[in-house]
A = this chain, B = another copy of it.
Amino acid sequence: RVNGERLWRRLMEMAEIGATEKGGVCRLTLTDEDRRGRDLFARWCDEAGLHMEIDRMGNMFARRKGRSNGPAVMMGSHLDSQPTGGKFDGALGVLAALEVIETLNDAGVETDAPIEIVNWTNEEGARFAPAMVSSGVYAGVFDIEDVYAIADKEGKTIGEELERIGYKGERQVGGRDWQACFEVHIEQGPILEDRGLPAGVVAGVQGMRWYDIVVEGDEVHAGPTPMDRRRDPVRALADALSAIYADIPNYGEWARFTVGDLKAEPGSRNTVPGRVTATVDIRHPDDKVVEEIEAAMTRIVAEAGKRHNVEARVETVWASPAVKFDETCVASVRKAAETCGLDTMDMVSGAGHDSVYIARVAPTAMIFVPSKDGISHNEAEYSAPGDCEAGANLLLHAVLDRAGH
């Protein structure tokens, strides 16, 4: 059994880095706060006797030797956060993994297979779109040079910021030898809490796509320009969004439609904007339904553009198809739940995780712990100490099941 008190203490210590006034965390990827979070994690790994390697995407790999030098068992998640994020999203997975290692160290358990902890760079996608970008490079989904060139709202790139914080490592990205990968994460939704369960066995991840709705009209003066002489992109965007929101219930209870960010250019109070942009996130466990919603959105946006005589279009930013995790890894988690005497359920993740991409190159599964009120990406995000501990215990036993001892 893991030491739940030590795990909680470390979660709280990590949460001090980038702590916000409202009790949350702002540790956006590749900022100074992220660097400090990484430094702290590296120190803890060092104290636990692990060997650290860093690759060219800044992904951190902390390795505990096994009796054999064969394929390793991997536990990974991320230390970056949303701009107004919580203490648990990502950090729980990395620190539960560290707690598993500490528990093995304390008990003097040697495993046959080596064990590795990974901290993936930019899982959140909040500062640099898309999300899960470094596990994506690892899995060959993205080209590293393209990813280096991705810029934040201020124009700073991933490549520059990796160098600036001193975490652009030397090792090639990808190609590590993993026989099984596990990620503990908070659920970020209400299902486990609603059912009163301490943990969930994650059998897959829903499909998700990111878009920009871009509408272009003419910049003109807010005062003297008659309404019927305007090509006002705000009007078309408002009409389109209003119609899309109204359409979403037609796709059933699992459909998700989110506009996370809005921009008007030039963004001056007394000028009709020349261009407005809305970011869109669409999700559904069935990729076909994601495509249906996309088609409806594209049609509605085009119609609104036509009606108001502006250029209106939908640009795809990122697409991540639905994922089914590896049966044997899922089975190891179920077995761990039995060993620990924990009631669980099988579930589909509503959020994306690095495990989505890792599942393409290695057998993978995930473990969820409940989120209070189903809330995440919010400073009020909370998971109880006992639930975090339960998640770490499931991870411990799933890893032992695969690593052999």
Contact = CB atoms under 8 A, between A and B. Distances in A.
Nearest to A258: B222
Given A262-B263, A268-B261, A377-B271, A84 B219 contact: yes
A256 B227 contact: yes
Interface in A232-261: 232, 234-235, 237-239, 241-242, 245, 248-249, 253, 255-261
A234 B229 contact: no
Interface in A75-124: 82-84, 124
Contacts of A218: 375, 378
B229 A190 contact: yes
A391 interface: no
Contact of A377 (B206, B210, B220, B278): B220
A289 interface: no
A384 interface: no
A361 interface: no
A376 to B, nearest CB: 4
A49 interface: no
B245 A242 contact: no
A223 interface: yes
A133 to B, nearest CB: 13
- 8 residue pairs, one from A and one from B, having the closest CB atoms: A189-B224, A224-B350, A238-B241, A222-B258, A223-B350, A83-B266, A271-B377, A223-B351
19 contacts: A126-B268, A187-B224, A190-B224, A190-B226, A218-B375, A218-B378, A219-B379, A220-B375, A222-B283, A223-B281, A225-B376, A227-B253, A235-B241, A235-B245, A238-B241, A258-B271, A259-B273, A260-B267, A262-B263
Given A83-B268, A218-B378, A220-B374, 8 more contacts: A125-B269, A129-B269, A223-B350, A234-B278, A237-B238, A239-B242, A241-B242, A260-B273
